[in-house]
Amino acid sequence: MDFDFSDDQKFLKNEARKFLDGRSPVSVVRGVLNDETKAYDAGLWKAIGEQGWLGAAIPEAHGGLGLGHLELCVIAEELGRCLAPTPFSSTVYFVAEALMLAGSDAQKAKWLPKIAAGDVIGCFATVERPGTLTDAQVQARVEGGKLTGVKVPVTDGDVADLAVVLAREGGKTRLFLVELAGAGVTREVLQTLDPTRSAARLTFNGAAAEPLGDAGEGLALAQGVLDRAAVLLAFEQIGGADRALEMAKDYAMNRYAFGRPIGSYQAIKHKLADMYIKTELARSNAYYGAWALSTGAAELPLAAAAARVAACDAFWYAAKENLQTHGGMGYTWEVDCHLYYRRAQQLGLVAGGAKAWKERLVSQLERRNAA
């Protein structure tokens, strides 16, 4: 039994924390929040690229560090902790993973080195309207290699170079690679809950689209990408939840009311204890997801669903109760609670919401129990 990260992986996590403490303080997050023209922090994005993190799980043959997904998990936790305002998740958890899952040798050779080097930003474009991603939702069409349709919202779609798009071809769903600088692509920046992570409406009007994976496999491959992303996002969510709990704790120790620290009241203690409980449950489920992801285990769909459900719950609870613990000050623009409140929703929705993942979890469970 060795159900924890190795000493090397913990060292990497520690180094990532130190690096981000220096390069991604909350002023960097607020720099993106307060500037409508800024989609992400370009300096931080460049620095992250120089660390090699974009290629942590990309094989060396394709220009990555070839470390593996466990290393990517510890980096993700630290990025989530500091709310790093960059297109890391879209590029690495979604697009690089989609290429590694479904790409041809030529596609991997073309794109993965560019992603690892920080030369390409990716985005994952699947949904078109409110509600769970289902077959019926996919109306975008590819005919003769040309894509027509609308994808909205697409996180990082406003700044991405390369999109992985779920569309219909000959009536069946399929994934496609679309270079967004090409003709036939219109982007509109969206107003969103979390302005520190930008999103766009992408309108395709005969844009060149190259198949990624087999015809008819679009939804299944998209779900495969979502499973991988769910595990990695869970670590970002845990990092965020941990930080929100720390903020609540620090405030509760130093804020006095009725002559004593509010952290000495059980109403506050029990709230913070519940934050801790949910975060530890999420961490344990995420570790299992990390194991499944890193070993390519058949349990990944169930493990990913459990990791996602637990992480969505933990981060949302920690974010909203951290704000509550801060009282009126927590509701102001100047105090950072709302940054975590916003990000908890952004991360909780970007790979599909918990409700749909719970259904997926139970379906997987039924399948396993029947086997």
Torsion region of 125: left, alpha or beta (phi above 0 gives left; psi -120 to 50 gives alpha): beta
CB 140, CB 168: distance < 8 Å: yes
Smallest distance from other proteins to CB 180, Å: 36
CB 326, CB 248: distance < 8 Å: yes
DSSP 8-state assignment for residue 34: T
The residues with which 162 forms a beta bridge, in sequence order, are 122, 179
Nearer to other proteins, 1 or 181 (CB): 1
CA dihedral 348, 192, 159, 129 (to 10 degrees): 70
Nearer to other proteins, 3 or 129 (CB): 3
Smallest distance from other proteins to CB 16, Å: 18
Contacts of 352 (CB under 8 A, 6+ apart): 132, 133, 226
Total Cβ atoms within 10 A of residue 84:
27
CB 203, CB 158: distance < 8 Å: no
Nearer to other proteins, 150 or 281 (CB): 281
Smallest distance from other proteins to CB 248, Å: 9
Could you identify the residue written with the tokens 């496609």?
176
Smallest distance from other proteins to CB 84, Å: 24
Residue 290 tokens read as: 């990390």
Nearer to other proteins, 46 or 355 (CB): 355
CA dihedral 281, 243, 39, 158 (to 10 degrees): 0
Nearer to other proteins, 45 or 357 (CB): 357
Smallest distance from other proteins to CB 341, Å: 21
Nearer to other proteins, 183 or 253 (CB): 253
Residues that bind other proteins (CB under 8 A): 1-6, 70, 245, 249, 252-253, 260-261, 263-266, 268-270, 272-274, 276-277, 280-285, 287-288, 290-291, 294, 305-306, 309-310, 313, 355, 357-359, 361-362, 365-366, 369
Torsion region of 367: left, alpha or beta (phi above 0 gives left; psi -120 to 50 gives alpha): alpha
Nearer to other proteins, 191 or 266 (CB): 266
Smallest distance from other proteins to CB 223, Å: 17
Could you identify the residue written with the tokens 């000493």?
7
Nearer to other proteins, 120 or 361 (CB): 361
CB 285, CB 310: distance < 8 Å: yes
3-class state of residue 115 by DSSP = helix
Nearer to other proteins, 29 or 268 (CB): 268
The residues with which 146 forms a beta bridge, in sequence order, are 143, 208
Smallest distance from other proteins to CB 4, Å: 5
Smallest distance from other proteins to CB 143, Å: 37
| Whether the bond into 153 is cis, omega within 30 of 0 | yes
CA dihedral 357, 359, 364, 369 (to 10 degrees): 140
Smallest distance from other proteins to CB 363, Å: 9
Torsion region of 35: left, alpha or beta (phi above 0 gives left; psi -120 to 50 gives alpha): beta
